[in-house]
A and B are shown apart, each in its own frame.
Chain A
Amino acid sequence: MMMIAVKLFGPLREITKQDQVEIEVKDGAKVEDLLTVVGKHFLGISEHLQVVSCSVGNEYVAKDTPLQNGDVVGLLPPISGG
């Protein structure tokens, strides 16, 4: 198993009342698998998970990116800075 640090922002942070959570996923899991686990862990965020972008190591990554133990993954709702 791998431990992934998941950072939550905007509406995701507000709904879950957490800005970071540790999530365990199976070896070989991809970002999309992590999203499935996060969706089961927190109820009421599936609508937001459908539209998030994801980051690993401060870069946007595709949902089929393989994860590694200890990765920090950002779940990023559509951005609205400026």
Chain B
Amino acid sequence: MIELTNNPIDTDTVLRRVEDESTGAVVLFLGRVRDHSEAQKISAMEYEAYTEMAIRKLEVIEKETKSKWPVTQMALVHRVGKLGLGEVSVAIAIACPHRREAFEACRFAIDTIKQTVPIWKKEYTASGETWVEGFTPKVTT
């Protein structure tokens, strides 16, 4: 399951997407909007995506993760639009036979999202709006 959504991410729904009675471990990672960055208080965060390419890159991450670990079910959901403090910006759920590979696969998925998926975020603070300093993806083709 891969999704970019304008709506709040419902973690119960994400977990239901990875239900599989043959697996003993499910790892759920949630990225949330925190109330500060460096010295600044944050009031909100806005996410923007290059939708077609972001979906394509999430599909690649799903395929790569499944090729490296015995993942039976996997969900990658990223929010776009303006989020308040504490709201979930990204959810990753991974089901594997055992916990070790589920943790490793989930770590790989979130790290690779941050390094390859064309999404941008802007912080809202008392002094204004600032695009967050980002990561320059590697050219792989």
Contact = CB atoms under 8 A, between A and B. Distances in A.
B50 A81 contact: no
A15 B56 CA distance: 27
A30 B54 CA distance: 24
Contacts of A9: 48, 50, 118, 120
Contact of B113 (A7, A55, A81): A81
A79 B31 CA distance: 16
B133 A82 contact: no
A10 B113 contact: no
Contacts of A10: 48, 120, 122, 131
Given A9-B48, A10-B131, A58-B56, A80 B137 contact: no
**Interface size for chain A: under 10, 10 to 19, 20 to 34, or 35 or more residues?**
20 to 34
Contact of A78 (B54, B135, B139, B141): B135
Nearest to A13: B48
B52 A58 contact: yes
Query: B interface, by DSSP: helix, strand, loop or mixed?
Result: mixed
A55 B135 contact: no
Given A58-B52, A61-B141, A74-B50, A79 B133 contact: no
A60 interface: yes
B108 to A, nearest CB: 13
Given A10-B131, A11-B131, A55-B50, A82 B113 contact: yes
**Interface size for chain B: under 10, 10 to 19, 20 to 34, or 35 or more residues?**
35 or more
A53 B138 CA distance: 9
B9 interface: no
Nearest to B110: A82
Contacts of B48: 9-10, 13
Interface of B: 31, 47-50, 52-54, 56-57, 78, 89-90, 110, 113-122, 131-141
Interface of A: 7, 9-11, 13, 51, 53, 55, 58-62, 74, 76-82
